[in-house]
Structure 1
């Protein structure tokens, strides 16, 4: 069975544009560029050999001098591309390049992890005790070892982990705010609007000025889905 890059190469040879190939195979345009650099150029033939004594020029696989943006793309994808799995290259190809967008993605993942921990580490009441077998010995020596976590132990661990996570989140938000205002004139309207969204979301997580009644509402804001969409 042919891989996507092989099928896409046939479309490319037939004259299909790279943006149309990206839509057809549900990948980013950077992934298509990666296919071309890693696979298609090899199929179309290696670059011409340099004559003995001729100066070494910065040529790409097609034999022409790459443009500035192509050199930047090579720095992002090309150095170790042939050693990486295809899906890793696709992830790299879809990563944002703007420092604000990279920081924003990390902030959203941190917030999602904090919200998710509310459900995973939730302690019902003071009687919420966990008993788990952690070891069992057989043979000449027979025995079992059990681990007991009392409600107060679990709650203390949760509070400690949550505190560390919130400090990391606050630091990232502060960094985003500083970076945003440092490059205010170059920032997009979406990047500027995010700072108020961040404050609103962290306010709901920490419970500042309100009670947290429904964590799914906060998850919806972070993941970009509404409760109505989730129920549908």
Structure 2
């Protein structure tokens, strides 16, 4: 058996459900010499739209969410200006995501209709896009989120970040799936991958939805949650996008 075959076998034994297929596709002898990759460079669509977003609103405090979601304050939030570094980080992450996605699609692991699936939960008031939904050759269906990290952070990663787990749980709930995969790509040589497999956690979702429901109730009463999530004058306050509507108005409401 060749070294390549052993690699694939070992990866499958280790329950790496996606990486073996990516490796096989990338090094296949009959793979086309060139192919088209579409990079999604659209700006983030979740700014001041009045919805919760699993990609950024799962771990936030109720008071912060109140100001970010409230129709009277959501357009007044202070968002950081883009820099060359932040723009390049986004561009390179999107490009790597596009390459992997294209390889999976060309190999038949995912279909066009199962890419960037728009999800809206009007009952809970959230919206987002799931990266991929796949029917794996093992017969199971998975929701998949891909993340990219610099090499140092990637090497130190031993478990998925908490907000990734929350995000994917929301998507699994909306897609009516029980299992998901977080695929993490190293954005730099040697371009390694790590997979984290999770099962939908209904208790986690219940607590998250209860928090979001509470924020909606506060908005309906036009009264913010009393508990501040940072101290006045702290570095957290000075960088918070809601600071002018929250702390700097000198009131708790």
TM-score range, shorter chain: under 0.3
More helix as a share of residues: 1
More strand as a share of residues: 2
Higher RCO structure, 1 or 2 (CA under 8 Å, sep 6+): 2
